[in-house]
A = this chain, B = another copy of it.
Amino acid sequence: MRYADAVALLRTIPVFASLDAASLKLLAFSSSYLTFHDGEMLCREGEAGDSVFVIEAGEVVISKSQDGQCIKVAQLGCRDLFGEMAVICNLPRTADVHARGTLKVLKIEGDVFLQLVTANPDAALGVMRVLSKRLMHFTRLYQSMQYAHPEDSYPQLPSAGG
């Protein structure tokens, strides 16, 4: 991918749309442009989470493993962002990510991502919106599963204040 194309792509991602030209260029310049083939792994649960990905073309499947069983958590496509949670929380990856079909991504260094999105109020709000919408989605899923299986008991949300 050409550098100018990367800037143009980043400008179409809602989270980055409000960044000024210099910030978009810095983001494009410090990104890696990678291609993965069907089934290839981009992230492994437990690994250091030091980068954020933007999908240029193709899809990824996000999954978690438990006792050898693979549980699909989400599927994302063109212009979606992923990998940001581990970077934001400075924690290891919480899931595996595999390419589904041929996949092209921009891999953005985590510290560059954090510096740019927290310094720009609209970008910060954009990241908060992505996270909030995903959270709403999983809360609805949890509600549906609790409704279907009211006998199940699961741990409560940890405190956010401490």
Contact = CB atoms under 8 A, between A and B. Distances in A.
Given A73-B142, A142-B142, A78 B161 contact: yes
A84 B66 CA distance: 32
B134 A160 contact: yes
Interface stretch (A26-34, A36-44, A146-154): A146-154
A102 interface: no
Interface string A43-85: 0000000000001000000001011010101111111110011
A71 B161 contact: no
Nearest to A125: B118
Interface in A133-157: 133-150, 152, 154-157
A124 interface: yes
A100 to B, nearest CB: 12
B89 A150 contact: no
Given A125-B114, A142-B138, A144-B154, A161 B89 contact: no
Given A14-B161, A121-B119, A129-B89, A145 B134 contact: no
Given A121-B118, A136-B85, A149 B149 contact: yes
Given A80-B161, A139-B138, A147 B88 contact: no
A128 interface: yes
A160 to B, nearest CB: 5
